[in-house]
Structure 1
Amino acid sequence: MSATPREHTRTYYLGKLATELEQRGLTATLRPYPPALRICDPDTAMLAETVDCVPLSEGWFYRWSWGELVGVTDDPGLAADRIMHVLSGR
């Protein structure tokens, strides 16, 4: 089964987010199908979350597992900051 162009786009954006998260000390593992990131804080392994990427009429967005938007894919640094905030409980 080959990946669709949409899956390639998701993987690209999730890779950019993974880089930002890893620079902040989090672990981000790409799940290949459907593309999503499994994110956890290695210091508190109990806290983990899955984030995927979706196209909307306004562009591509990162999205929490419960459906709420994290942020626009054009600013993965801001999305990473929001994820850090949620996972740290601050």
Structure 2
Amino acid sequence: MTPDDTGTAAPSRTRIEYLEELGDELTRRGFRVRLTLPRGQSPSLHVMNPDASALTENILAEQGADGWWYWWSWAERIAAAADVAAAADRVALVLAAR
């Protein structure tokens, strides 16, 4: 736990909370999302472009030495989890119907 602005300890966020936050942002942008909780594996956020259902991706949230990050399923970083707007921008760009 880390101290917040009031000097009290703030609870650390969970992987699911980060995925839900990104999911909320992507839903506002018109994407369909589903939180996937497979047994024995890390949760992921399944994102689909409703205008082109073949354009889908599973997004992960992982904590490293330098904080929490969103990751593509092919193990490339998307953006820091603290910057949900930037992560949503990149996901929207990759899943855009052209």
Mark the runs of 5 or more structure 1 residues left unpaired by the alignment.
1-5
The runs of 5 or more residues in structure 2 that have no matched partner are 1-11
User: Aligned with 2:14: secondary structure?
Assistant: helix
Which residue does the alignment assign to 2:68? 60
Higher-Rg structure is: 2
CA distance in 2, matches of 1:24, 1:76: 12
TM-score, reference length from structure 1: 0.87
The residue that corresponds to 1:3 in the other structure is none
In structure 2, the residue matched to 1:48 is 56
- Matched residues, number: 84
CA distance in 1, matches of 2:85, 2:36: 20
User: Which among 15, 18, 31 is matched to residue 26 of structure 1?
Assistant: 31
Q: TM-score, normalised by structure 2?
A: 0.80
Contact 2:47–2:57 at 8 Å: present in 1 too? yes
- State the match for 2:6 in structure 1: none
- Any idea what SS the aligned residue of 2:54 has? coil
- Identical columns (%): 37
Find the partner of 2:21 among 16, 20, 31: 16
Deviation at 1:13, TM superposition (A): 0.2
> Larger % of helix: which?
1
Measured in 2, the distance between the counterparts of 1:78 and 1:19 equals: 14
